[in-house]
Amino acid sequence: MVENIFWIIFIIFPFVTGLFAYQWLPNESPYGANIKILSTYEKCHPMSDECQEVANVWMNTETGQVYTPEDFKKHGNIETLKNLFRFVVYMSLGGLAYMGFNHFKNRFSK
């Protein structure tokens, strides 16, 4: 019973807490409230005929600072590594818990 509750919490925990969520920088998304899109390009999906406009350059209307996707590339790379590290540690904890539950099951079943 305790093991089942643990695994349910273990699976739900990252979704509830946003443990693996991407941490956006301010103005990183071109679709915020104080953002004016200055330039776009059309991106088409290779498997369908659907195309959409994608922001290429945007400006914060309060500060006047201009941003491009390249401005946030370093942050994106760091976020990828941080999430990879979190994932490996979280799954390692899950593996240790699995081994511990099996150890105690085998120990007390004799």
Cβ–Cβ under 8 Å, residues 58 and 71 = no
Which residues constitute the domain of residue 55?
2-108
Confidence bin at 110 (pLDDT 50/70/90): low
**β-sheet with 51-60: strand ranges across:** 35-44, 51-60, 66-67
Q: For residue range 25-75, list pLDDT tens digits in order.
A: 777 776 777 888 889 889 888 888 888 888 888 888 888 888 888 888 888
Q: What's the total number of domains in the chain?
A: 1
Q: For residue range 66-99, list pLDDT tens digits in order.
A: 888 888 888 889 999 999 999 999 999 999 999 9
Cβ–Cβ under 8 Å, residues 29 and 60 = no
- As beta bridge partners, residue 59 has 36, 66
Report the alpha-carbon distance of residue 14 to residue 79 in Å, rounded.
16
Token digits of residue 73: 């590339």
